[in-house]
Amino acid sequence: MKKQTVKRILSVGLMAAMAVSLIAGCGKSGDDGKSGGGESQKFTWWITQTDGVGKYYEDYKDAAAVQYINQQYWNTEEGGIGTKENGTNIQFDYIVPIPGNEQENFNNMISLGEYPELIDLAISGESPKSMVENGILMDITEYVEKYMPNYLAYLDAHPELKPLVQVQEDDGSIHYYALYKLADSVREAWEGTLYRRDWVVEYAVPTEYVWDWESDYVKENGHPEVTPLDKAVKENNLNGWKKNDVTKFEADYGENPDEDYTDNVIFPSGTADPITISDWEWMFEAFDKAIADRGWTEDTNAYCTSISYMGNSTLGDLVSSFGGGTGLYYINEGKVSFDGTSENFATYVECMQNWYQKGWLDQSFHTRANDMFYMINQAGISQGKVGLWCNYHGNSIGTTIRTTCMDERDQQNAFCMPAALPINDMYGGEEQMYQEPDAMYQNSMIEGKTGITTKCEGKDLAALFTFLDWTYTTEGAEVLGKGLTKEQVESVELNPNIFKEYGLDATYAKSTDEEGKTVYTPSLSAQDPESPLIGATQAGRMTVGIALNGSTGEYYNNDGTPAIYKKAYELWGKYLNTGGTMDYTGLLNADESTEYNKMQTKVVEYMSQNLPGVIQGKMKWEDYKAGMDALDADSVSKYLQKYIDLVKAN
């Protein structure tokens, strides 16, 4: 494929940065800065959710890793974990809103001024700087510089992250207004495209020709000279195509399909996995046959694929397959602009119009306003009535949906495989074709942020920030994100002790392989019925520290993940989100944020009211574009550009 220039954030030097000696600064708020003795300092933390609450413990502070943290003493002079003689103990309590009530609870907490010392800022509508200006958060610059050498070392090793977590004031001074949970790599995707591979095997007709990846033209250009196949045949130009040797598809499920499944499916792109828009459309023809064969042609829950009710997810995903973009605000080669009227977006709309007219696209997509874009029509999916969709991997991957399928054949044979976002090989012009998707729902290197509120003033901030800095070391990152080793479990008194209750020695074991790489071996696999127990042993809801996502090559997780899941992680993470703007919206100051949010609300409202009509053929694209242009959506791009320029400068 033609590659776009992508600056992948690597974590070279991660372990070196995390192993920096903790050389704490001087002084602490409220006393002489010396550790040891005295009563425990108490801090309360507002977090958005927990893991295993109600089943494994009643309060988040009873999570095993949190209990471990609450029993440590923090050496503010030398840094890290100390002893009772040279350290200060701090105790964390937690406030957790009722699920579904997070936003209301957060808003009430802030408006009434009844917030605790630390708060997760995941759903805050204000930037940390704005919250500092409003007297809610502390300017923590002094404490970061004195007590957080590991945090600063990690940022030095990853300078591209600095403008995302720092604020440079007009006088050039650098300030820290929140602490960010930083990832060492993009996290393995937990959702993505899935499709009915068994329907492809049974109903798809192998094409006469497929891409010839050994041909000189495809080697040089990444695709045949003319695509799709019907156009190449019509123009009598098969340069880059070859005769397809496969004339009938067959599958072998093996004893354990999640590990053993094989088939001989070859897509028009000459690959075993769908990689192009024409691959998808070839599948849609097969899905149509499967749906008709089951008598579901008039069933509104049965279709080939669907999209968000507003016609676009605004985060990119499929939109970015048509030359790049999001349909909203988009970064391209360091420049941010409004993308909702671009040629790329118009090409996406043209494709959706075609899919809608042919009946491939969910004819009721615009009515599913209550469904999130990755959870559209869960009933239809679980009943086996949809050909291609977006979902959690655990919900329907492999043979999972067999038990809920309506058709007896599907109950026996349903097999769902993952797919990467497709590359457009048939719509629009040269700028819209053969480009890798560049904007999608993908975890950022910034996985969360925590604010230290003004309620902390007068408390032992030296001990607090010494603990916070520890979370940016290997040891601290492991405790928060992976849980406790056997030695750590044995070093503290746990009550409740879920390790003892469930017969576990530890959450994971740590070893070194022949190449010197660190290997983490979990006590339970993610597919184990008791897998929620893993989260209950960790402290991942404390949104600070480094997330050890395992894609750096410096270490890996030996977790027994089935082959079908590994394939999903590989394909869903095939492309990087370089065009999204979400990392930058949190940097806007109060005035910028207000103006930006006002405009975005207008744009999304206009889009949701009119774009479905364009896709359905009820409104002309030109009229839609004129209405969107009248909003002058690009006028707020400058606010994001300011911070993007700061990133480029680093």
Tell me the pLDDT tens digit for each residue of 280-331. 999 999 999 999 999 999 999 999 999 999 999 888 999 999 999 999 999 9
Q: Which CATH number fits domain 190-206+250-441+558-650: 3.90.650.10, 3.40.190.10, 2.50.20.10, 3.90.550.10?
A: 3.40.190.10
What does the pLDDT read at residue 446?
82
- Please state the CATH superfamily assignment of the domain spanning residues 14-187+446-550 in this structure: Periplasmic binding protein-like II (3.40.190.10)
The end-to-end CA distance of the chain, in Å, is: 30
**Which residue positions in the chain have pLDDT lower than 50?**
1-35, 650
User: Are 239 and 247 in contact, with CB atoms under 8 Å apart?
Assistant: no
- What is the value of pTM for the model shown? 0.75
What does the pLDDT read at residue 20?
38
Phi, then psi, of 282 in degrees rounded to 5: -65, -40
Domain ranges of the chain: 14-187+446-550, 190-206+250-441+558-650
**3-class secondary-structure state, position 518:** strand
- The reply to whether domains 14-187+446-550 and 190-206+250-441+558-650 share a CATH topology is yes
Q: How far is CA 349 from CA 28, 183, 342, 355, 426, in A?
A: 58, 34, 11, 10, 13
Nearest of 227, 319, 192, 9 to residue 574 by alpha carbon: 192
CA 363 to chain centre: 29
Identify the residue whose tokens are 């609870």. 105
Phi, then psi, of 94 in degrees rounded to 5: -135, 145
Identify the residue whose tokens are 């590991």. 150
Nearest of 151, 175, 171, 150 to residue 163 by alpha carbon: 175
What does the pLDDT read at residue 127?
82
Report the distance separating Cα 109 and Cα 122, nearest Å: 14
What does the pLDDT read at residue 298?
96
Buried-exposed string 197-218: b where 16+ CB fall within 10 A, e elsewhere = bbbbbbbbebbebbbbeebeeb
Express the helix, strand and coil content of the chain in percent, nearest 5 each. Answer: 40, 15, 45
Nearest of 347, 348, 371, 364 to residue 305 by alpha carbon: 364
Q: What angle do CA 15, 17, 21 make, to 5 degrees?
A: 105
Report the distance separating Cα 290 and Cα 304, nearest Å: 10
Report the distance separating Cα 96 and Cα 108, nearest Å: 14
